[in-house]
Structure 1
């Protein structure tokens, strides 16, 4: 059975091999992409404006920050949940799940949760 030092040495060697393979294949991959872009008339602007395909692993579950802040949805029902609390810097919380840090810190400072209720303002 190998000891920790042997395993770490193997990991290091494999990591070096992976980096070498990546470096060797990088230029050919870039050339392949450029050739396809020319064949289809694709520009860098097209790539920047392109919407990712559904189910793409690279972006699955990620939303732009602006959308993520304003959009609160219930995963179970797929229905938007209105924010019930708003912080001094515009943060919002629907009242579901764990209390967010911004509200927890304000409560710890002696303020009440109800003072941040949206309908009370």
Structure 2
């Protein structure tokens, strides 16, 4: 079922970010509830992206699952500074881009002449 095209993902992502920021900056909730909110919303957005989007869905969904994993580890007692969290998210996003995105894209350069022919005849 298509509702508003890609908009449900953008709307869910905006709500997730707004609630995460609210819980981090002033919304008086316990650390456990904040963790539950962050993990749940990241997972909901990941699932929505996987089902709604066509191009880039795997990358987007895996990145949000990475967000959920970091939030879960923080909620379970892992102590990291904001800088360390940002570094881990860059590592997650970079790794996912290398594994998921790189094989699916083609460089915008002309192919080399040697790549355009072969000494072996096609069967």
TM-score range relative to shorter protein: under 0.3
**Does 1 or 2 have the higher relative contact order (CA < 8 Å, sep 6+)?**
2
Q: Which has the larger radius of gyration?
A: 1
More helix, by proportion = 2
Q: TM-score normalized by structure 2? A: 0.20
